[in-house]
Structure 1
Amino acid sequence: MAARRSWVEQIMGLPVSVLARGERVDSARADAAVRAVFAELVEVDRVFSPYKPDSAVSLLACGQVGWDDLDPVVGEVAERCDRARELTGGLFDAEMADGRWDPSGLVKGWAVERAGERLREVSDLDWCLNAGGDVLVLCPSGRPFTVGIQDPRDPGRVVTSVARTDGAVATSGTAARGAHLYDPRTGGSVATRWLSVSVSGPSLEYADVLATAAFVAGDEWPAVLAALPGYEGLGILADGNLFATPGWPAVRSGAQ
């Protein structure tokens, strides 16, 4: 079995972990790459957190700054949010009903995917980067990592798993933070019989956006994934039943 090493930090209010696999997991180069990932995510949180009073998002909300006063990266994220709104037919929208701009539904996936480029620079190791259950996998060896899908009724249990050699898996639902997700169609919380929707595909940014939009869509969520090729989904109902799109890997209940 190949050597493994893991790192974990609390960033963005959630655990961010990196699992590396290969002969050079203890190298200074591997450690430096992971530290660069964490540093980049800390900086993204500083700029985009709606909970930090001096973040760009908070300063915009209270009118202390205008768009032209901000770092260009904020404008880039705003453009990405606009594209995500168009892609999902408005099911994803960073503009809140009260007029605030909150890009949280896109920023995490975008930031983790961007930070993951630091890991790609160490080409002789396999990596699994997990940000609070949204996962990016990079496996130059071609040997997959197994990504578990959490049971939204029991956070200590995995209901199924997905094997990936690259790409992403993102989940949206109410298990971690309750009914916090925003429905742009009503201006209120999402009302649905689904407990979670997981999306697997090539990009974590888009898997995250599509998972959010799919959860908002309710029973129509499979149609949301058709907006982009290469993305498949798994929904979990309140009674525990699972429903997968045709391209989702075979469901293996109780996988570890």
Structure 2
Amino acid sequence: MSRRSWVEQIMGLPISVLARGKAAGGEAADAVVREVFAELIEVDRVFSPYKPDSAVSLLARGAVSWDHLDPVVREVAERCVAARELTGGLFDAEVPGGKWDPSGLVKGWAVERAGERLRKVEDVDWCLNAGGDVLVVCPSNEPFTVGIQDPRDPGRVVARVSCAGGAVATSGTAARGAHLYDPRTGAAVVTRWLSVSVTGPSLEYADVLATAAFVAADDWPAVLLPGYEGLGVLADGNLFATDGWGSL
């Protein structure tokens, strides 16, 4: 079976696409991947808190009002409000200091949206990996194996999940250290869990739920919605999985 891969540095992280199938090496597959990368670059331009001319940065400086922003920014803001309500306040785009930072939702939302382009290419299975958050599209129903990174050793995996369609997202301290805070208190998250990974049909929701679950600490399994499963990694290396964790 033909395979082909692409990788670009976008949003400050490597985004890779793996194609598998008869048409994986064709021009249509290459063209759609370039479209996916272009869409994600545009999302980064609009939403990055590190780019001085992004909508997020302009809002933070008071240089623009919500009424003058592109409708897609208001759409993301509405999705962030919905995510806050869905998680009982465990996820919130309003960060300490009163600024709006939708980064915790934008990546999953953007990859999920861009992934719709991949579905248009027939006879190709896709695995799109955005810095460890993974979207899988498999018309063949032959699963990809997605590894869950060991938060204590980025070169190792602690578990594998068989994924024939859907998403896997992970939140924790491995990549960026102790960067998450509890929106309910404004304080940094203190927990014995090093990471929580979530599987489910939507990467947008899996990403939000993984963040909320990590903030919830020992109560994280209760955060998951129906159709979503989780795997937590403790500081001592022990694992805890919900009953439905496994194939997706």
Provide TM-score, normalisation by structure 2. 0.98
Tell me how far apart the structure 1 counterparts of residues 14 and 122 of structure 2 sit (CA, whole Å). 25
Tell me how far apart the structure 1 counterparts of residues 13 and 181 of structure 2 sit (CA, whole Å). 20
Aligned: 1:230 with 2:231 = no
After superposition, residues 133-144 of structure 1 pair within 5 angstroms as 133-144=132-143
| Alignment partner, residue 150 of structure 2 | 151
Tell me how far apart the structure 2 counterparts of residues 123 and 28 of structure 1 sit (CA, whole Å). 12
Letter of the structure 2 residue corresponding to residue 206 of structure 1: Y
Number of matched pairs: 247
CA RMSD of superposed structures (Å) = 0.8
Letter of the structure 2 residue corresponding to residue 239 of structure 1: D
Letter of the structure 2 residue corresponding to residue 128 of structure 1: C
Deviation, 1:190, is 1.0
After superposition, residues 67-106 of structure 1 pair within 5 angstroms as 67-106=66-105
Aligned-partner SS, 1:188: coil
Tell me how far apart the structure 1 counterparts of residues 125 and 38 of structure 2 sit (CA, whole Å). 20
| Alignment partner, residue 246 of structure 1 | 243
Tell me how far apart the structure 1 counterparts of residues 78 and 133 of structure 2 sit (CA, whole Å). 22
After superposition, residues 174-213 of structure 1 pair within 5 angstroms as 174-213=173-212
Deviation, 1:218, is 0.3
Tell me how far apart the structure 1 counterparts of residues 27 and 118 of structure 2 sit (CA, whole Å). 13
Letter of the structure 2 residue corresponding to residue 104 of structure 1: S
Tell me how far apart the structure 1 counterparts of residues 236 and 40 of structure 2 sit (CA, whole Å). 36
Q: Which runs of 4+ in 1 moved over 6 A?
A: none
Percent of aligned pairs sharing the same letter: 81
Q: Is the 8 A contact 2:23 2:122 kept in 1?
A: no
Deviation, 1:169, is 0.2
Deviation, 1:123, is 2.2
Deviation, 1:55, is 0.3
Structure 2 gaps, min length 5: none
Provide TM-score, normalisation by structure 1. 0.95
